[in-house]
Chains A and B, each alone.
Chain A
């Protein structure tokens, strides 16, 4: 797996745990939604993350926010845009940790992901070989303007017009 952050491939400090693996004594661990209640009580973990389906109810996750440092939303297909809405709703519910999109996303969707509030994107190695780091770096800068807030360069075009700044 390759991890994209700010247009670069970075090392992943997190370990994704399959349901049959037991909780390790320490470290940063991503568990499934089903294991979240138990994992939350495990004080040995340095940091806790959860991976969820894009159909997850954001309100169901909210009670865990205080203990959660990462939420990883699965993209079952790169054309399935539910994850973009879920990300936005999680931010609205008050989640401030790392939001990660995982699946076969392409660099061409980078700004969509950023606009939804994602910090990182996790893609399979073979896809990372196909769309290299340079593609992601370029895609991060593809547009400097957006009609929506938070997508490219922060302020929306409407807000820029209002302020009269370029």
Chain B
């Protein structure tokens, strides 16, 4: 997400005020990034326990940032089918489909493994961009 594209879309906003809703083609062209976007949106829901962008370094709830995709997926699937002992993660995992878990896994893998307080906003933008690219590459 560079500043240029944002400025451009700012322009689109003012145009769309007059031209009605944005063209359908735009949605289709973005269909791969929509899943990545949803992955990010879902992953952000984990932050109250696992820290902003999964970057919590506290004692009970493990950081998710930088976890290999397979590790995250394996854990979530085991919580979901009940084969792994859980406190609350069994309930949480039962809210997600395989594809959704996969999208979150890709997103978390790209987040830097360090405490959020020591992370610059710029690094977060880069990680988010990397996750989107990784997701795009998948499809």
Q: Is the A/B pair a real complex?
A: no
Spell out B's residues near A (CB within 8 Å).
Answer: none
Q: Chain A: residues with CB nearer than 8 A to chain B?
A: none
